[in-house]
Amino acid sequence: MLGEGIVRGLAETARNFFGSFAEKERLTTVQFPEERRVPFEAARNFPFLVYDGDGKESGLRCVACLICEKECPPRCIHIDKSKDKKPDFVGKAQFYPAAFTIDVSVCMSCQICVEVCPFEAIKMDTAFELSTDDRFAGLLWGKDRLAKSNEHYHAIHPTEAAEVDERRGQEKAAAEAKAKPAAQPAEAR
Amino acid sequence: MISSLKEMPREAGETGGMAGSGAGSQLLEVAMGPHHPSTHGVFRMDVQLEGERVVRLKPVFGYLHRNHEQIAEKTSYLGSMPYTDRLDYLCSMSNNWAYALTVEKLTGLQPPERAEYIRVIMAELTRVQNHAGLIGFLLQDMGASGTPLMYAFREREKILDLFEWVSGARMMCNYMRFGGVRVDLPEGWVEGALAFVERAPRFLDEYEGLLRNSEIVMARTQGVGLLPAELAVNAGVTGPMLRASGVNYDLRKVDRYGVYDRFSFRVPLGEKGDVYDRYMMRLLEMRESVSILAQALRDLPGGPILDPKSKLRGLRPKAGEVYGRIEAPKGELGFYLISDGSTNPYRYRVRPPSLINLTVLEDMCLDRSVADVVVILGSVDIVLGEVDR
Amino acid sequence: MTPEQIRSEIEAAIPGCSVEVAPNGAVPGQASLAVDRLHALEAAWFLRRHPGLLLDFCSNVAGVDWLDREISEKVKVRKLVDGVEQEAEETRKSKIPGRLEAVYHLFSIEKKQGPVILRVRTENRSDRVEIPSLTPVWRSAEFQEREIFDLYGIVFTGHPDLRRLLMWEGFTDHPMRKDYVPPPEDDGPQDPRGAVGKEAAAG
């Protein structure tokens, strides 16, 4: 019968319309500014630099090795290496970034800088409401804006951050254990 | 629509946009696009019309061209991986796989079993969401404004959530690596995917029931945009579009890449190769994909997810060349790489199924009306990020 | 069929056609067939109709740009040194002139086989860049050859509609060539050492 298919199709729309009152499955909309979805742990947006402790400048894990600058596919990271060195978390003297900038208007959130970083210094942030009225300076983030605490890292990626902390703890313990036998013979002499 | 008077090369005897061709008939040149809602992006068709009948149609590309291939030749092998997400930006997982597969062929890396299963799961989820979206767009082009597309996007949302859960991004996943995948599935992910697979048949039934039997859809699609099998093969058409013309050629069966030989699934085939067949092909393929998903999630083995020989930085394959291809949702997605032994590929080429499937667009549209052109283009399934690269 | 067998069959079937088997050093290492450009079209028809191959599906057409290259290889030569014949090593430098190349990946849907890789080379990179178009044999080459014409500048003789595909009309260069110099970018990454960067770094 002509029109039968149309009626059958309308039955599906009716089922979905009335069903949306009963089933959460059929109504998945999140009313955004009022309602917010909890982001997934793996969620990523733009990179940030992790620092330990309270020192935004002194606790920065980055040692300015320039690997991320070289590996970044759109080349949006720029690092100026320091002239002097400062001790890192195991006490080894390391360079630090005199300047570290990311042009987030070019960054494509691919996470490759995070993967290649051997020092767990750069991680992905989840913040996404970042609009600005200055499309040049407002989107070129310096060290000041990029540096975020380890606590922040724990808050957004708890599992991953715990693993990183454990690994760094082991490294530190290994470094201390290595330093001790080296120190003892010196005392004996 | 803007009428264009200068872009098309004219044949002898024509004097302008409006040219006489026989008694009482006039030809009108129309540039459909690049900003036309039915072209799914920035794509233009220069159409020559006689009344409402199409007498010539030339696609115009390049509005989204960014020289992806040259960028890739100046970047390391790994650095191109996030750029492949942006080819067919609806199916980034498939693109990742095609590129990873090609580099693995070039270097001899072997992904572990678990990674192969994860790849199959991701590729089939991609196929479901691509096909659901395509049908929504196709019906929208026919005038079913909103409803089918919203239903499709509601289900797509669930798949994108699964992608974000594992890779951190909804569309630009950047998930595969040479010799495996980047991270293992998080806890609870498999259950989440299984829940989706359980619900999927109900969605597919409803989605099919919505308009499959509708007299209007049948009148608009049956017998429209016929593509004979011989022409389809000769013009290099691949994917669901080729199979809608009745040619049994599915790379998952032919090449048996990954672990596709372990799953039982059927390859649906069309008869006539009209828009209706192409529409049905996608509906049927989604069901097969769901069945593959159920099998893959059931058999998912444990173990490592990355070849231990694979390294992130400083990949230097031996000098040589390789062509790798997979069955992406839109057709055969191929990568052709030439290595000269350095860290960058000497030549990096993408074989874009969307672009090559458009070769026959003119043949399908000739003698049809403008309204049919919209439907036929909708059934080809293009994404301009891949067409223009 | 191995590339060598295909080569001898082509050479037997088409008089005057010379085919070179180009080796491939990659892991699967499938060698390709470099057909001379005068007989490329005939060879393509032969491959498509060959009952054992039936290459009805031309999947991928890629352009490649090879710059002038100098290869130095060490060769052992016997020479007379002070009346005694000795073996000595000599470095021989050979120059490979630059050329453009179109690579066709051919498959058979009928027989579910493939690929056979066909290469057609131009004489040089500057003025003699014509090779025959294989679009009459496989229509799938139509847009891909146009793309190569656009990005590499190979002129395909016999192509039904050879226009630029991706770049705009009036653009003169070929951006995929290895010696292409792009115009200065105005929307690339900002230089943080520039004025804006210093401001941002200052806080």
Region of poorest pLDDT, from A53-67, C114-128, C176-190 = C176-190
Tell me the domain boundaries of chain C. 3-66+99-179
Peptide bond into A73 cis (omega under 30): no
pLDDT tens digits, residue range C52-85?
888 889 999 999 988 887 777 777 777 776 777 7
Decide if pLDDT at B39 tops 80.
no
Instruction: Using DSSP, state whether A166 is helix, strand or coil.
Output: helix
Q: What distance lies between CA B45 and its chain's CA centroid?
A: 20
Average pLDDT (A54-79) is 85
- Stated as kind and residue range, the H or E segment containing B105 is helix B92-107
Decide if pLDDT at B3 tops 50.
no
Pairwise CA distance, residues B56 & B365, whole Å = 8
pLDDT interval class at C202 (50, 70, 90) = low
Average pLDDT value over all residues in chain C = 82
Decide if pLDDT at B224 tops 60.
yes
Decide if pLDDT at A99 tops 70.
yes
Average pLDDT (B153-170) is 90
- Chain A residues closer than 8 Å to B183 by CB: 42
Q: Which residue has the tokens 């093969």?
A: B233
Decide if pLDDT at B110 tops 80.
yes
Query: Could you tell me if A85 and A95 are in contact, meaning their C-beta atoms sit under 8 angstroms apart?
Result: yes
Predicted pLDDT of residue B10: 43
Is the ipTM beyond the 0.95 threshold?
Answer: no
Average pLDDT value over all residues in chain A = 83
| Sign of the alpha-carbon torsion through B129, B134, B136, B283 | negative
Predicted pLDDT of residue C14: 84
Instruction: Say what the pTM is.
Output: 0.87
Contact: C196, A74; criterion CB under 8 Å: no
Contact: A28, B216; criterion CB under 8 Å: no
Query: Could you tell me if B255 and B240 are in contact, meaning their C-beta atoms sit under 8 angstroms apart?
Result: no
**DSSP assignments along B343-363, one per residue:** SSEEEEEEE-HHHHHGGGHHH
- Chain A residues closer than 8 Å to B312 by CB: 115-116
Predicted pLDDT of residue B389: 84
Task: Sheet with A147-149: list strands edge to edge.
Answer: A122-124, A47-51, A147-149
- Stated as kind and residue range, the H or E segment containing A174 is helix A158-188
| Sign of the alpha-carbon torsion through C40, C46, C48, C54 | negative
Average pLDDT (B108-137) is 91
Average pLDDT (A158-168) is 86
Decide if pLDDT at B14 tops 50.
no
Region of poorest pLDDT, from B137-141, B194-198, C24-28, C136-140 = C24-28
Decide if pLDDT at A182 tops 80.
no
Contact: B210, A12; criterion CB under 8 Å: yes
Pairwise CA distance, residues A156 & A40, whole Å = 9
CATH topology of domain C3-66+99-179: Beta Polymerase; domain 2 (3.30.460)
CB-nearest partner of B75 from A2, A9, A73: A73
Query: Could you tell me if A79 and A99 are in contact, meaning their C-beta atoms sit under 8 angstroms apart?
Result: yes
Predicted pLDDT of residue B38: 74
Region of poorest pLDDT, from A17-21, B121-125, C77-81 = C77-81
The domains located in chain A, with CATH, are 1-37 (no CATH), 47-174 (3.30.70.3270)
- CA-nearest of C35, C38, C164, C48 to C103 is C35
Pairwise CA distance, residues B240 & B281, whole Å = 6
pLDDT interval class at C200 (50, 70, 90) = low
Pairwise CA distance, residues B46 & B59, whole Å = 6
CB-nearest partner of C176 from B70, B106, B358: B70
Pairwise CA distance, residues C15 & B351, whole Å = 33
Pairwise CA distance, residues C47 & B357, whole Å = 23
How far from A28 is each of A31, A38, A129, CA to CA, in Å?
A: 10, 14, 22
Q: What percent of chain B has pLDDT over 90?
A: 25
Name the CA dihedral angle for B87, B91, B94, B100, rounded to a multiple of 10 degrees. 40
pLDDT interval class at C203 (50, 70, 90) = very low
